[in-house]
Amino acid sequence: MKNEILTKIKEIKIFLFDLEGVLLNDNITPDKLFNLLSAKVKEFDKYGLKFGIITAREEDDLINKLKLIENCNVVSSSLDKVSSADNFLTTNSIDYKNVFYIGDDLLDIPLLKKCRLTSAPTNGRREVKRIVNFVVKSKNPEDMLNEILSLIKKSNETV
Interval 74-83: pLDDT, tens: 999 888 999 9
* Residue (of 17, 71, 16, 80) closest to 46 by Cα position: 71
What average pLDDT does the segment 13-26 reach?
Answer: 96
**Which class does domain 2-157 fall in?**
alpha beta
- pLDDT band (50, 70, 90) for residue 20: very high
CB 107, CB 88: distance < 8 Å: no
- pLDDT band (50, 70, 90) for residue 1: low
What is the phi-psi region of residue 28: left when phi exceeds 0, alpha when psi lies from -120 to 50, beta otherwise? beta
Question: How would you class 119 by CB atoms within 10 Å of its CB: exposed for 0-12, middle for 13-18, buried for 19 or more?
Answer: buried
The model's pLDDT over 127-150, given as tens digits with 9 standing for 90+, comes to 999 999 999 998 899 999 999 999
What ranges in 1-122 are assigned the alpha helix state H?
Answer: 2-9, 30-46, 61-66, 81-91, 109-112
In the chain, domain spans: 2-157
- Where b means 16+ CB within 10 Å and e means fewer, 80-104 reads ebbebbeebbeeeebeeebbbbbbb
Backbone angles phi, psi at 106, to 5 degrees: -55, -35
Share of the chain above pLDDT 70, in %: 98
Q: pTM of the full predicted structure? A: 0.95
* 3-state SS, residue 99: strand
Mean pLDDT of the chain: 95
Per DSSP, 27 falls in state: T
CA angle 120, 121, 122 (to 5 degrees): 120
